[in-house]
Each structure stands twice: as C-alpha cells, then as structure tokens.
Amino acid sequence: MFYRLFGWGMRQITGHMQEFRALRALDIAVPGFGLLSERFRALEVQVKQRCQRVADCLSRGESITLIVDSSGMKSWPG
C-alpha cells in the first residue's frame, strides 16, 4: 500500500513501520529490510512491460542498464 500510494522503497516502508510501532508503544514485530529481502527473493512476480524503448532493445538483443535502489527502478539502453 505504501509503495503504491507514496512510491516508497522497501527501506522507507520498514523504517516508517518501525517508527510507527515505537511511537505508539505497540508490541508487534516489524521485519527488517534484510528479512524482507530474503522473503521477496523467493516471491514470484509478474512484470508488466512499461517501456517500449527498453522492450525494443531487448528484442533486438541489445544490452540495457538497469538500476534498482530504494527509490525505484531506472533503465536505459546501453
């Protein structure tokens, strides 16, 4: 929900939830970034094509550069 609404990365979401729990003195477990990364590694995800330019490069066998960090994903040919 936070990812879709605010465009937050996983580190931002876990940090927010840990802060939320601490400020309200809630006794709930909030998994850290490392644990979530391990769980998401085994998760099957369907990828939707969003960029025709990148799809065209891949279909021609050209390489692309793909950058993924906590703020999102960027790609460009080259």
SS (H, E, C) the chain: CHHHHHCCCHHHHHHHHHHHHHHCCCCCCCCCHHHHHHHHHCCCCCCCCCCHHHHHHHHCCCCEEEEEECCEEEEEEC
- Select the more confidently predicted residue: 33 or 25: 25
- Select the more confidently predicted residue: 65 or 77: 65
One-letter amino acid for residue 49 of the chain: Q
Tens-place pLDDT, residues 37-73: 888 788 887 767 777 888 888 889 888 877 777 776 5
Q: What is the structure's pLDDT at 23?
A: 92
Q: What are the C-alpha distances in Å from 49 to residues 25, 30, 38, 46, 56?
A: 42, 32, 25, 10, 11
